[in-house]
Every structure is written in structure tokens, then in C-alpha cells.
């Protein structure tokens, strides 16, 4: 989930790299009490096939304490306290992980044969999720797997939905997607066939499409995917977190003694909600039920920009400075493969008023997206991504265990707001292909993932 290139996803975990922003001024984080965690010493730990083996829960907790603040930035909130090691759920979850891990070992003996199953750490967090991560601070890939207590509730027992989400997340760990630069190697760009939907994993990469669509994706990753002129200058974190939003929040955190900077996250949330309220999460499309919605969004975006200007008054750094600090990379690497024009480059490198640069650059990225939207029908293009690969792998692992894709699709259905689920069901019953979702979201839309899971299962069973 890491990358050093502008053209690729700015993944959530990158947001955690903002400690270097300390150089701008003193950085106060959302959880300052935990900012003094000692660095983790991994020198005496065993490393097998690139995974650093943590032997027991106390060791895993120590590593987590050292990395928790980075994860807090990455996830946008504190991931939570670990559940006490004596809790009976550890054994239950570790058994599930062990079972899936040996399945992945059968599927990928070269990659993970001989690597012990990752150690489960349960975090007290109501968000129904699990995740693996790479430690950028020490450069190790800890053999740990996190599961939130939100997944331990009754509803995820249905059709073993918890097994589905663990299978997907564990595929990221097994395939090394968390390691810097790895997930990008999976991507393949292609065109959809008329009337049918080819399986991404069977497609070849089309360089022409990669170039055309990549330019749009770069802009969408900077400023957000939605083509609303009302949003110009406001990088709404709706589906994914646009880089210009992360950059603004990092700069605000670095100036957190200012009242306007303290207020900025709240104002950003308000502005974001104005967009989210009209967003269908199942299909990733925006519908405006009320005509006043657009003026509400315009007003919210305006308020965000006003607050940003006040918060960053007198801050004279470039957007590139922040990008390099967040991604711990060099300018050359950051720009490798980028589609930025000389005008766009001028703004991103300008060491002037940061707020003005952020707002102007957001505008330029919005214009670029609008231009490509006029020239290309983006609905015709597809990208096979590491997220799709994790879904495909999860289904293969579930089949290998004698199950079907239901654990995964049940989890998808449980994560869709009920009022949006009808959109998935109607497309399934009418035999139409659900909307793919926005191209900058590597997951694709939830409705599409449900449809895709059935297609993958069918194809694997036919093999």
C-alpha cells in the first residue's frame, strides 16, 4: 500500500509519514500523549522471506506502541488499544488466520513457504476491519495481522463474513502488497469488452490506456474523483483521501497552536459531509436529490478554503516540500512517471503562500480531470489492481477450504448502507453489470465487487 510516485495511488498508509513535517514547525498530533513512544529495535529478530518474525504478543504490543502514531495519521484516527492478551478471541482469530495462511502457502509456496502465520493483534476499534502493515520507520515488514473488535460482533458471524474480510486482508500480507512499491507492480490497464466484463487477472496491460487514464487518476488522487465544479479547491475525502487534503491536514497539524488550524479538521469534515450526503457508496456515484445540494457544497468548499488561508497564513513552503516529507522520497522519484505539465509543476514547487498554492493546484487538477472527461469516456476503461487481486485470492483460498465466495460477499453486503444495497440487487436481478466505480479507487465499487466475486468463483470452478 505504499508508493513513491505521484502517478499512483497516494495510499492511506502514506499519510502516516508526516513526522518529517516537524521540520516546518512543531508538530502536534491528534494523540500527543502517545508521541513519545520509543523506537522499536528489530535487530535481533528473525527475518524469513522478508517478514520480521515477532514471537509473542508482548513483543507485538511493543512494536505496535512504537508504530501506533504513524498508523494514527495513516488511518485518520487512532487504531485503538490492543485487547488484553488473555482474551479468548485471540485463539479463535489466530485459528482462522492459521487456516487461511496455510492455504495461501499452498497457493504461493515460493513466496511464503516456511513463513509462520502472522500473529493476530486485536485492536479495540468499532470499525469492522482487519489490516496488515509495513513499518516504514524501521523498514521492516512485521509478521503481524490486525483485527478490530468491530468484526467480533454477532452480525459478522453470518456466512462467516469475518473469514471473508480476513481472507482479503491476509492476501495483501501474503502477496507483499504492504511493502513499498509492490502493489503498483500488479496494475494492468485495459478496455472493457462490449456487453461483457472480462476478468482483470486474465488481461494484458495496454500502455496507451495506462497513459491516458493514468493522467486522470493522478489528478483524481490529488484532488478527488468527482467532477463537480463546486468542489474546485476542496479535495473532499469521500472515497479515498486526496493528497491535497492530507497535505493540508499535515500543514495544519504542524501549526496546531493556531486556533484556525485546530478548527480546520472540523470544517473539512463539514465540507466533506456535504458531498458524502449525496454519494451512493455502493455504486460510487453522486446523485443530487435536492437542488440546494450544489449550493451547499459550494458554500462548504468556500468555508474550507477561507479556513485554510487563515490557518496557513505566512506559511511559505511548497506543496512539493510536503509531498517529499510525507512520502520520504526524493523529487526525482516523486516525479518519475508523473503527468504534471510545466504550469502544474510551477505551482507544486512554488515556495510561496502554501494555502494559495494548495487552492490553485486543486483548481488545476480539477481542470485537468474536466478536460479528460470531455475527451474520453472513462466508463470504457478498467484497471486490475492489487485490491482486485486480494479479492480474487480470497475467493481462491475460500474455495480451497471447501467454502464458496459467500464469506466475502456477505461482508461486502454488510458494509453497504441498506438504502444503497437495492442498487446492487436490482442490477443482479436484471442481469446488468453494476457500475465499476471510480477509476482512482483500487477496490472498485462494492456492487461491482459482489458481481465480480461471483464471476471469479464461476471461472475458478470451471478450471
Alpha helices for 206-337 (secondary structure H):
207-223, 243-253, 259-276, 292-311, 319-327, 331-335
Specify the 3-state DSSP secondary structure of 429: helix
Give the Cα separation of 328 and 63 in Å (integer).
Answer: 21
Give the angle subtended at the CA of 101 by the CAs of 97 and 102, to the nearest 5°.
125
Give the Cα separation of 99 and 246 in Å (integer).
Answer: 37
Q: Given the rule CB under 5 A, which of 15-23, 259-267, 380-388, 417-425 is the region that contacts Zn ion? A: 380-388
C-beta of 209 vs 394, nearer to Zn ion: 394
Cα 397 from chain centroid (whole Å) = 23
C-beta of 132 vs 275, nearer to Zn ion: 132
Query: Which positions from 122 through 181 interact with Zn ion, judged by CB under 5 A?
Result: none
Give the Cα separation of 241 and 11 in Å (integer).
Answer: 8
Least distance from Zn ion to the Cβ atom of residue 177, Å: 8
Q: Given the rule CB under 5 A, which of 141-149, 276-284, 388-396, 405-413 is the region that contacts Zn ion? A: 388-396
Least distance from Zn ion to the Cβ atom of residue 390, Å: 5
Query: Which positions from 26 through 65 interact with Zn ion, judged by CB under 5 A?
Result: none
Least distance from Zn ion to the Cβ atom of residue 394, Å: 9
Q: How many CA atoms lie within 13 A of 11 on its CB side?
A: 23
C-beta of 29 vs 241, nearer to Zn ion: 241
Least distance from Zn ion to the Cβ atom of residue 442, Å: 8
C-beta of 236 vs 390, nearer to Zn ion: 390
DSSP characters over 102-114: HHHHHH-HHHHTT
Give the Cα separation of 150 and 132 in Å (integer).
Answer: 16
Least distance from Zn ion to the Cβ atom of residue 1, Å: 8
Least distance from Zn ion to the Cβ atom of residue 169, Å: 6
Least distance from Zn ion to the Cβ atom of residue 321, Å: 30
Least distance from Zn ion to the Cβ atom of residue 96, Å: 17
Q: Which of 334, 336, 335, 343 is nearest to 363 (CA)?
A: 343
C-beta of 354 vs 450, nearer to Zn ion: 450
C-beta of 79 vs 233, nearer to Zn ion: 79
Distance of CA 205 to CAs 187, 375, 382, 435, 457, Å?
8, 21, 10, 21, 23
Q: Given the rule CB under 5 A, which of 226-234, 281-289, 292-300, 384-392 is the region that contacts Zn ion? A: 384-392
Least distance from Zn ion to the Cβ atom of residue 415, Å: 12
C-beta of 169 vs 230, nearer to Zn ion: 169
Distance of CA 91 to CAs 54, 85, 86, 368, 394, Å?
17, 10, 9, 51, 21
Least distance from Zn ion to the Cβ atom of residue 78, Å: 21
Q: Given the rule CB under 5 A, which of 213-221, 319-327, 336-344, 387-395 is the region that contacts Zn ion? A: 387-395
C-beta of 184 vs 387, nearer to Zn ion: 387
Specify the 3-state DSSP secondary structure of 369: helix
C-beta of 322 vs 390, nearer to Zn ion: 390
Q: Which residue reads 461471483 in cell numbers?
A: 454
Q: What is the crossing angle of helices 207-223 and 243-253, to 10°?
A: 30
Query: Which positions from 389 through 408 interact with Zn ion, judged by CB under 5 A?
Result: 390
Instruction: Give the CA dihedral 205, 210, 211, 212, nearest 10 degrees.
Output: 130
C-beta of 8 vs 369, nearer to Zn ion: 8
Q: Write out the residues near Zn ion by the rule CB under 5 A.
A: 387, 390
Amino acid at each position: 500500500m505504499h508508493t513513491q510516485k505521484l502517478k499512483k495511488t497516494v495510499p492511506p498508509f502514506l499519510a502516516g509519514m508526516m513526522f518529517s513535517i516537524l521540520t516546518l514547525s512543531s508538530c502536534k498530533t491528534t494523540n500527543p500523549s502517545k508521541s513519545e513512544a520509543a523506537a522499536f529495535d528489530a535487530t535481533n529478530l528473525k527475518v524469513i522471506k522478508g517478514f520480521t518474525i515477532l514471537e509473542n504478543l508482548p513483543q507485538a504490543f511493543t512494536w505496535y506502541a512504537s508504530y501506533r502514531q504513524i498508523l494514527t495519521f495513516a488511518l485518520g484516527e487512532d487504531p485503538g488499544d490492543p485487547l488484553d492478551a488473555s482474551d479468548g478471541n485471540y485463539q479463535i482469530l489466530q485459528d482462522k488466520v492459521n487456516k487461511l495462511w496455510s492455504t495461501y502457502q499452498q497457493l504461493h509456496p515460493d513466496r511464503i513457504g516456511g513463513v509462520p502465520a502472522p500473529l493476530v493483534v486485536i485492536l479495540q476499534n468499532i470499525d469492522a476491519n482487519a489490516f496488515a502493515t509495513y513499518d516504514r520507520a524501521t523498514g521492516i515488514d512485521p509478521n503481524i495481522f490486525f483485527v478490530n473488535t468491530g468484526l467480533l460482533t454477532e452480525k459478522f458471524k453470518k456466512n462467516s463474513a469475518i473469514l471473508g474480510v480476513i481472507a482479503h486482508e491476509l492476501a495483501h500480507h501474503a502477496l507483499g502488497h504492504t511493502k513499498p512499491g509492490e502493489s503498483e507492480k500488479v496494475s494492468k490497464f485495459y478496455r472493457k469488452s462490449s456487453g461483457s466484463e472480462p476478468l482483470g487477472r486474465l488481461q494484458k496491460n495496454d500502455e496507451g490506456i495506462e497513459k491516458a487514464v493514468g493522467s486522470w487518476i493522478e489528478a483524481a488522487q490529488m484532488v478527488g474523483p468527482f467532477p463537480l465544479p463546486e468542489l474546485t479547491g476542496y479535495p473532499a475525502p469521500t472515497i479515498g483521501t486526496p493528497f491535497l487534503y492530507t497535505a493540508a491536514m499535515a500543514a495544519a497539524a504542524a501549526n496546531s497552536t493556531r486556533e484556525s488550524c485546530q478548527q480546520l479538521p472540523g470544517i473539512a469534515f463539514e465540507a466533506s459531509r456535504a458531498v458524502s450526503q449525496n454519494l451512493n457508496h455502493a455504486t460510487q456515484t453522486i446523485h443530487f436529490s435536492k437542488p440546494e445540494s450544489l449550493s451547499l457544497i459550494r458554500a462548504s468548499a468556500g468555508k474550507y478554503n477561507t479556513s485554510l488561508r487563515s490557518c496557513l497564513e505566512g506559511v511559505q513552503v511548497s506543496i512539493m516540500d510536503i509531498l517529499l516529507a510525507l512520502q520520504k522520497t526524493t523529487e526525482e522519484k516523486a516525479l518519475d512517471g508523473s503527468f504534471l505539465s510545466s504550469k502544474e509543476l510551477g505551482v507544486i514547487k512554488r515556495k510561496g503562500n502554501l494555502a494559495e498554492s494548495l487552492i490553485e493546484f486543486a483548481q488545476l487538477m480539477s481542470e485537468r480531470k474536466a478536460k479528460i472527461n470531455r475527451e474520453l469516456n472513462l466508463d470504457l476503461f478498467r484497471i486490475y489492481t492489487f485490491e482486485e487481486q486480494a479479492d480474487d485470492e480470497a475467493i481462491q483460498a475460500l474455495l480451497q477450504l471447501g467454502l464458496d465466495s459467500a464469506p466475502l460477499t456477505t461482508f461486502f453486503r454488510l458494509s453497504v448502507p441498506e438504502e444503497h444495497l437495492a442498487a446492487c440487487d436490482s442490477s443482479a436481478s436484471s442481469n446488468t453489470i453494476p457500475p465499476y466505480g471510480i477509476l482512482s479507487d483500487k477496490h472498485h465499487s462494492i456492487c461491482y465487487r459482489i458481481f465480480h466475486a461471483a464471476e471469479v468463483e464461476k471461472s475458478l470452478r470451471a478450471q
